[in-house]
Structure 1
Amino acid sequence: MRADRVFAYGAAAGLIGDRILGDPRRGHPVAAFGRTAAAVERALWRDDRARGLLHTLVCAGGAAAVGALGARAVRS
């Protein structure tokens, strides 16, 4: 299947799901990421560029890893 069709189907499914289910009152993925990023920042923050880089790598790398695992699980 072509990538543009996959994107279109995924976007349509997301729109329909959002219309039917709406945003969850608890456990919203974006809010969960924000709480996790804030906790990582509290643990790692120092006035230092290396620590900022570490924070970015942990948050962005963690999100990318979760996405990759999800994509792998769906393909299986």
Structure 2
Amino acid sequence: MTTSPPGQVKKAVLLAPTTATHAVNTSQRHLELRIVHREGNTIGLQAPPSANDAPPGHYMLFLLDEKGVPSTATFVSLR
């Protein structure tokens, strides 16, 4: 991921890749993840509480710095 050092990451968000048809987007989803710990170059994130919040599937993970500048997305899979 291209982003600031872990100590400068202020937010982590998941975005569901969207699918739109006939001007309706049925899979739009934006979830902020809680940062639970930092150690060296590692950041621990808390997963969404349930499949109601984040149904199983692929999501784009972004890390944002204090200015709100996002990293390059990395795809993650929730099961």
Relative to the length of structure 2, the TM-score reads 0.19
Which structure would you say has the larger Rg?
A: 1
More helix by share: 1
Relative to the length of structure 1, the TM-score reads 0.19
More strand by share: 2
